[in-house]
Amino acid sequence: MNIQEFAATLKLSVSTVSKALNGREDVSPETRKRVLEAAERHGFSPDPAARRLRRQSADTIAFVVSAPQTSFAHPFFLDMLMGVNDAMDNSGYQVIVASARSVEAEIDVFKRLIERQRVDALLFGRTRRQDERIAYLLERDIPFVAFGRSETSSDYPYVDIDHHVVGRAGCARFIALGHRRIALVHAPEYLMFSHFEHEGYAEALRAARVKYDPSLCVETAISEEGGAEAARRLLALADPPTAIVCGHDLIALGVMRGVAETGRVPGRDIGVIGGDNHPIGRYVQPSLTTFSAETHRAGKRMAEMLLERLAGKPAQDLQEVWAPELIVRASDGPPRAQTASPAQSKASSSRRSRTLQA
């Protein structure tokens, strides 16, 4: 019988049976004894290749760069990978980097890494609300640490920067400055961090008794062009926002470009707040108000957690959520009289002229 059939005879999960067979510390002595006795009684022997994988024979850990952003030009991934390498320096493990071209293809990358026995464990980020990668790794009992939480399960190790704070505190700052038409431009909400941003944003509005307007919430690609397109869309509304919270600094940089295209000045006519402290944010004009994102520290901590997990430490003891801090620069500020776009100004001037002639 295979391990699924063996686990079914014991009415235990595959994960529990696997942990018991491999002597992991996060299984009770009674359960381990029961599993080992049943294995001897039934003549069950798990797949030797799988046992080698779980016993760390590959001495390799994969750092998977998650879609939709697969460019290492982004400091997010570079800093995180440097942190991983720092923690792994004296561990005896080598780190390989893998990536997928699309969200849909990413699970195939995970399966190739695991089923070809190339790695002992994985590190990855950008978790999803419904995440088949997490479900697959838990089912196969493969050690991993993720950057982010998920609705799929809470039974795995993770480090997370709390983007609920980004949405809530970013919106609350604009409310405190006097804004009431506040937009949210964020990544697709199947991503867990983006879902948290939306929840935090809505919570801040409720706390201030400001009406939630769905037309002010725009999901877009994590890119400058995505942010610029979202800004164009928002500023074309009959009642446009006076401030925009962005879940990601690349999106915020695009929003600032889109604002400037309409003849308005970012930070003066339209307030903008970013989300993850991209290095370029301090050099643009106006410099971008944003939130801290300790990605180097996060990468290092994830790797440390993975080593602890490989040593048998329970997943529930390896879960950390860090609160980001607001970094105030120049792109936010109090509202002012809405500045019309050049086209709107021309139309308004024409109306005034006809009124005077009449």
Q: What is the pLDDT of residue 206?
A: 98
Specify the domain boundaries for CATH 3.40.50.2300 within the chain.
57-161+297-322, 163-293+326-339
Helix, coil or strand: residue 19: helix
Identity of residue 162 = D
In DSSP notation, 49-111 reads HHHHHHTT-S-EEEEEEPTT---TTSHHHHHHHHHHHHHHTTTS-EEEEEE-SSHHHHHHHHH
d(CA 163, CA 170) in angstroms, rounded, equals 10
User: What is the layout of strands, in order, in the sheet containing 60-65?
Assistant: 94-99, 60-65, 121-125, 144-147, 158-161, 319-322
Can you give the pLDDT at residue 3?
80
Cα distance between residue 291 and residue 251, in whole Å = 14
The verdict on whether omega for the bond into residue 266 sits within 30 degrees of 0, i.e. cis, is no
At 140, the amino acid letter reads R
The span from the CA of 120 to the CA of 53, in Å, is 6
| Residuewise pLDDT in 10s, the chain (358 residues) | 678 788 888 999 888 888 888 777 788 999 989 998 998 888 776 654 454 444 445 689 999 988 765 455 567 888 999 999 999 998 989 999 998 888 888 999 999 999 887 799 999 999 999 999 999 999 999 999 999 999 999 999 999 999 999 999 999 999 999 999 999 999 999 999 999 999 999 999 999 999 999 999 999 999 999 999 999 999 999 999 999 999 999 999 999 999 999 999 999 999 999 999 999 999 999 999 999 999 999 999 999 999 999 988 999 999 999 999 999 999 999 998 644 444 444 443 443 333 334 3
**For tokens 């699309």, what's the residue?**
102
- Give pLDDT tens digits for 175-188: 999 999 999 999 99
Topology (CATH level 3) of domain 163-293+326-339: Rossmann fold (3.40.50)
pLDDT of residue 188: 96
Per-residue pLDDT, 22: 78
pLDDT number for residue 44: 77
Q: What is the pLDDT of residues 286-313, one digit of tens each?
A: 999 999 999 999 999 999 999 999 988 9
Indicate the DSSP class of residue 288. P
pLDDT at 49 (0 to 100): 45
Per CATH, the number for 57-161+297-322 is 3.40.50.2300
Q: Please tell me the distance from the alpha carbon of residue 15 to that of residue 5, in angstroms, as a whole number.
A: 13
Report phi then psi at 201, rounded to 5.
Answer: -60, -50
